[in-house]
């Protein structure tokens, strides 16, 4: 049976500095309360209430977002935010992932109010000497300053695990994940990604997060990626055994990203950047295509307006389906193996088509995996994107909630728009030792 927090011992001690009042659902330190939104309160409360047992993702989703259907990505973002607010020095220090199942938290114990005050203040039953009082006050002030410094310190970026492998078929493969167990799985199952596809002369990035996989792939040329062969595919673990067979039949039919049109009369919209991702669900593929328009509103700050297009039933045309706005700020530095880190703050999201409109236009409903993109943009206050690879007119981004996306800059982009993207496009192609015949292309 799960351990219940007794009414008389309702304060859970998570660490030396952090406590959670299960009656008031407040997280606090000796300095005061730590701000939590509703989902964070409910998820943390459920984890503590069930500690040390594991709580399933389904259960956490139901308590965190009651009477609302959201994607699993919302839970991931909430867990990530809780880890940041608890000042985890490494992922899993307090909140641990149970792969493919859920999460658990191990608390130090539960305290009554008197026990908490005894732990953090002068015991009520003893009147200390004035010198002892002064010493205790000074100790508490020092402890408060230490905790305050921790709160004021800049937020450490997530440390990604990564490995680059070159094989005898001139393939360059990059495995990466933010979680050690997911990263270990990728390395152990690397043959799954290489052998079935009978790959040669490819540049491929493979990312795993819990049950979600994302692969970005292109053909290698003497100077970099062949833009017309750049594809990004997202799928669940259940599709792993069939992904290469299905892709072998599907990818030759997909138009190059640079050639993708979006209007019914087959005239293309010229904008700063196009991006796309392929979703594989239940053996079926759909393409998510977006156009991005950007305004440089400050040093290292952009306001992006993006139009997302969905294909009709036979994927012969793309139709505007939703509109979103994001304010993006470039970080001063980036963790390895990334070139640039962007903090993104969603400002609005709006669906353009009603369900009836989509049915009349032959647009299929979004699958569970693809719908995460819309849910993520609505449910989070911020997310992070990382630039992993770039070359002239092409770049690869890895984003929380959006996985891999290839972005292409139109050759006919206006001079003013070109200035907007120069900071994102110019520079070395990768922080990793990716080699092409003409290695100077990466400088």
* CATH code assigned at 93: 1.10.10.10
3 within a domain of the structure (yes/no): no
Mark which of 124, 152, 180 sits at the end of a domain. Answer: 152
Taking the CA atoms of 407, 412, 414 and 415 in sequence, report the sign of the dihedral they define.
positive
Strand partners, 289: 276, 309
Mark which of 108, 132, 152 sits at the end of a domain. Answer: 152
Mark which of 152, 175, 199 sits at the end of a domain. Answer: 152
CB-neighbour burial class of residue 139 (10 A; exposed 0-12, middle 13-18, buried 19+):
exposed
pLDDT value of residue 7: 45
- Residue ranges making up the domain that contains 124: 11-152
The count of other CB atoms within 10 Å of the CB of residue 279 is 23
Ranges assigned E (strand) in 156-222: 161-166, 172-177, 202-209, 212-221
363 within a domain of the structure (yes/no): yes
Same domain flag for 196 and 296? yes
Same domain flag for 100 and 216? no
Task: Return per-residue pLDDT of the chain as tens, 443 residues.
Answer: 444 444 467 888 898 889 998 888 889 888 788 888 888 889 999 999 998 899 998 999 888 887 677 777 778 888 888 988 888 877 788 998 887 788 999 888 888 887 888 777 634 444 444 444 455 455 555 555 554 444 444 445 568 999 999 888 888 999 999 888 889 888 887 776 655 557 789 999 999 988 888 999 999 998 889 988 888 888 887 777 777 777 777 777 666 654 555 443 333 444 467 787 788 877 777 777 888 888 877 778 888 888 888 877 776 778 888 888 888 989 888 899 999 999 988 887 787 777 788 888 877 777 666 666 665 566 667 789 999 999 888 889 998 766 898 888 755 444 444 444 555 656 688 899 888 887 544 44
Say how far apart CA 398 and CA 390 lie, in whole Å.
12
Q: Which DSSP state fits 433?
A: -
pLDDT value of residue 124: 46
246 within a domain of the structure (yes/no): yes
395 within a domain of the structure (yes/no): yes
> Are 382 and 344 a contacting pair, CB within 8 Å?
yes
- Give the three-state DSSP class for 232: strand
Same domain flag for 74 and 198? no
Same domain flag for 60 and 127? yes
1 within a domain of the structure (yes/no): no
192 within a domain of the structure (yes/no): yes
148 within a domain of the structure (yes/no): yes
Same domain flag for 90 and 191? no
Same domain flag for 133 and 204? no
**Predicted structure pTM score:** 0.63
> Are 318 and 289 a contacting pair, CB within 8 Å?
yes
Say how far apart CA 286 and CA 313 lie, in whole Å.
9
6 within a domain of the structure (yes/no): no
Q: Count structural domains, the chain.
A: 2
The count of other CB atoms within 10 Å of the CB of residue 292 is 19
Structure tokens at 189: 């199952």
pLDDT value of residue 379: 62
pLDDT value of residue 260: 54
Same domain flag for 294 and 433? yes
Same domain flag for 182 and 72? no
Same domain flag for 165 and 141? no
Same domain flag for 121 and 172? no
Say how far apart CA 261 and CA 264 lie, in whole Å.
8
Same domain flag for 218 and 106? no
Same domain flag for 147 and 173? no
Say how far apart CA 310 and CA 206 lie, in whole Å.
25
Which phi and psi angles does 356 have, rounded to 5°? -65, -40
């Amino acid at each position: 049976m799960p351990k219940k927090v007794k009414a008389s011992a309702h304060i859970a001690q998570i660490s030396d500095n952090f406590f959670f009042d299960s009656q008031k659902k407040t997280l606090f330190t000796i300095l005061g309360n730590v701000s939590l939104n509703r989902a964070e309160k409910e998820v943390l409360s459920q984890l503590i209430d069930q500690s040390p047992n594991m709580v399933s993702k389904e259960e956490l989703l139901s308590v965190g977002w009651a009477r609302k259907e959201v994607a699993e990505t919302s839970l991931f973002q909430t867990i990530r935010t809780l880890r940041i607010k608890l000042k985890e020095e490494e992922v899993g220090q307090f909140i641990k992932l149970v792969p493919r199942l859920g999460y658990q938290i191990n608390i130090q114990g539960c305290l009554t109010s008197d026990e908490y005050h005894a732990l953090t203040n002068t015991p009520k039953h003893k009147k200390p000497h004035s010198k002892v009082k002064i010493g205790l006050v000074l100790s508490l002030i020092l402890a408060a300053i230490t905790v305050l410094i921790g709160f004021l310190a800049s937020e450490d970026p997530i440390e990604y695990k990564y490995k680059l492998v070159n094989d005898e078929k001139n393939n360059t493969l990059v495995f990466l994940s933010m979680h050690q167990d997911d990263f270990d799985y990728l390395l152990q199952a690397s043959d799954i990604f290489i052998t079935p596809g009978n790959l040669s002369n490819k540049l491929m990035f493979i990312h795993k997060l819990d049950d979600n996989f994302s692969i970005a792939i292109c053909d290698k040329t003497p100077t970099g990626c062949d833009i017309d062969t750049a594809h990004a595919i997202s799928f669940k673990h259940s599709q792993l055994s069939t992904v290469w067979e299905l892709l072998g039949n599907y990818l030759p039919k997909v138009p190059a990203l640079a050639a993708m049109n979006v209007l019914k009369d087959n005239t293309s919209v010229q904008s700063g950047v196009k991006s796309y991702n392929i979703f594989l669900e239940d053996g079926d593929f759909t393409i998510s295509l977006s156009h991005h328009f950007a305004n440089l509103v400050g040093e290292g700050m952009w306001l992006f307006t993006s139009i997302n297009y969905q294909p009709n039933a036979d994927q012969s045309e793309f139709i505007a389906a939703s509109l979103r706005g994001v304010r993006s700020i470039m970080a001063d530095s980036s963790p390895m193996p990334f070139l640039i880190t962007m903090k993104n703050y969603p400002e609005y999201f709006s669906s353009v088509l009603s369900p009836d409109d989509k049915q009349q236009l032959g647009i299929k409903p979004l699958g569970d995996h693809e719908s995460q993109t819309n849910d993520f943009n609505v449910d989070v206050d911020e997310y992070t994107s990382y630039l992993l690879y770039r070359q002239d007119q092409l770049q690869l981004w890895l984003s929380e909630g959006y996985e891999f996306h290839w972005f292409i800059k139109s050759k006919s982009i206006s001079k003013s728009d070109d200035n907007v993207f120069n900071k994102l496009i110019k520079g070395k192609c990768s922080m990793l030792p990716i080699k092409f015949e003409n290695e100077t292309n990466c400088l």
